[in-house]
């Protein structure tokens, strides 16, 4: 059994924040996603892993990006083929994307190699058919993530945008709003919380998000003593990956 190593809340070259009690998890990953009580990730060899009973369990297949949430478990491979975990088997579906997000209300979102934005409404994600029709959105993003009160994305210039009025049947929404700040990636939790990482590897949390104020009010930089390239949050845990692929799980102390 692999045991996690607790980290001291000290700035001694290991990550810590006053808001979180952090633990380093054995293994290496390049991307991780937490949602709906599940955690999946992929490593540099495109191997897929599922966090089960405090251990990583390898899942058959090869993916460069994986996502888990209310819409299920989805991923894309190096050819940008889209897969859905259907009855414990990977089923390819129509379309090509480089990044997907299953965090919407049973709808899927993502972007392709040209940074075009797409979503897949709930009736398609719950279908067992491989023939699905993605809905295009205007604009251009390199990363796109959805939650219960809206979707967030970042473009090639690291500008941040919020998509208003998304829902399971009209996942495309109807309006972009630019949000202050600069991030290279952003993730929306199943509970609507929003975290992101900037080009310097600093981690930020969006404050003040609610159904009445879905864009929140401000960004708070989390006082970690290390830099990171990927972040995701679910069920009271912040999961982070540093530039060398080390995995951190941080319990929310708030």
* Res 185 pLDDT > 60: yes
Q: What is the pLDDT of residues 122-149, one digit of tens each?
A: 999 998 899 999 999 999 999 999 999 9
The per-residue pLDDT for 252 is 86
The per-residue pLDDT for 13 is 39
Say what percent of the chain tops pLDDT 70. 93
The per-residue pLDDT for 2 is 36
* Res 12 pLDDT > 50: no
* Res 15 pLDDT > 70: no
Domain total in the chain = 1
Over range 171-180, report the average pLDDT: 97
Contacts of 123-129 spanning 24+ positions with Cβ under 8 A: 123/168, 123/169, 125/71, 125/72, 125/84, 128/86, 128/91
Rounded-to-integer distance, Cα 155 and Cα 244, Å: 24
Q: Has residue 237 been placed in a domain?
A: yes
The per-residue pLDDT for 14 is 47
Q: Has residue 12 been placed in a domain?
A: no
Q: Has residue 231 been placed in a domain?
A: yes
Over range 53-82, report the average pLDDT: 98
The per-residue pLDDT for 253 is 76
Q: Has residue 183 been placed in a domain?
A: yes
Rounded-to-integer distance, Cα 86 and Cα 132, Å: 14
Q: Identify whether the C-beta of residue 65 lies closer than 8 Å to the C-beta of residue 102.
A: no
Mean pLDDT over the full length of the chain: 93
Residues 6+ positions from 199 with CB-CB distance below 8 Å:
158, 182, 184
Rounded-to-integer distance, Cα 168 and Cα 34, Å: 20
Q: Has residue 19 been placed in a domain?
A: no
* Res 177 pLDDT > 90: yes
User: How many other β-carbons are positioned within 10 Å of the β-carbon of residue 155?
Assistant: 18
Beta bridge mates, 231: 240
The per-residue pLDDT for 16 is 55
* Res 254 pLDDT > 70: no
Q: Look up residue 101 and give its two tokens.
A: 């997000």
* Res 59 pLDDT > 80: yes
Over range 22-43, report the average pLDDT: 97
Q: Has residue 8 been placed in a domain?
A: no
Q: What is the pLDDT of residues 146-164, one digit of tens each?
A: 999 999 999 999 999 999 9
Q: Has residue 1 been placed in a domain?
A: no
Which CATH number fits the domain that encloses residue 104? 2.130.10.30
* Res 11 pLDDT > 80: no
Nearest to 168 by CA among 214, 237, 108, 111: 108
Give the residue, 18 or 167, on which the prediction is more confident. Answer: 167
Over range 13-38, report the average pLDDT: 86
Domain extent at residue 242: 24-252
Q: Strands 31-35 and 20-28: what pairing? A: unpaired
Q: Strand, coil or helix: what is 123? A: helix
Q: Has residue 57 been placed in a domain?
A: yes
* Res 70 pLDDT > 60: yes
């Amino acid at each position: 059994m692999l045991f996690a190593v607790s980290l001291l809340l000290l700035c001694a070259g290991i990550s810590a924040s006053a808001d979180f009690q952090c633990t380093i998890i054995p293994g290496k990953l390049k991307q991780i996603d937490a949602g709906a009580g599940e955690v999946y990730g992929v490593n540099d060899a495109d191997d897929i892993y599922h966090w089960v009973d405090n251990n990583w369990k390898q899942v058959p297949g090869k993916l460069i990006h994986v996502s888990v949430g209310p819409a299920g478990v989805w991923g894309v491979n190096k050819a940008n083929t889209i897969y859905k975990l259907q009855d414990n088997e990977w089923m390819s579906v129509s379309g090509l994307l480089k990044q997907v997000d299953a965090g919407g209300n049973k709808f899927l979102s993502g972007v392709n190699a040209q940074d075009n934005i797409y979503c897949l409404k709930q009736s398609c994600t719950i279908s067992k058919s491989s023939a699905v029709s993605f809905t295009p959105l205007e604009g251009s993003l390199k990363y796109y993530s959805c939650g219960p009160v809206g979707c967030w994305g970042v473009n090639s210039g690291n500008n941040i945008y919020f998509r208003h009025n998304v829902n399971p049947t009209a996942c495309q929404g109807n309006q972009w709003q630019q949000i202050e700040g600069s991030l290279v990636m952003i993730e929306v939790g199943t509970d609507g919380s929003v975290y992101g990482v900037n080009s310097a590897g600093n981690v930020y949390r969006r404050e003040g998000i609610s159904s009445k104020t879905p864009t929140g009010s401000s960004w708070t930089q989390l006082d970690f003593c290390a830099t990171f390239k990927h972040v995701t949050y679910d069920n009271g845990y912040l999961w982070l990956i540093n530039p060398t692929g080390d995995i951190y799980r941080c319990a929310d102390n708030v």
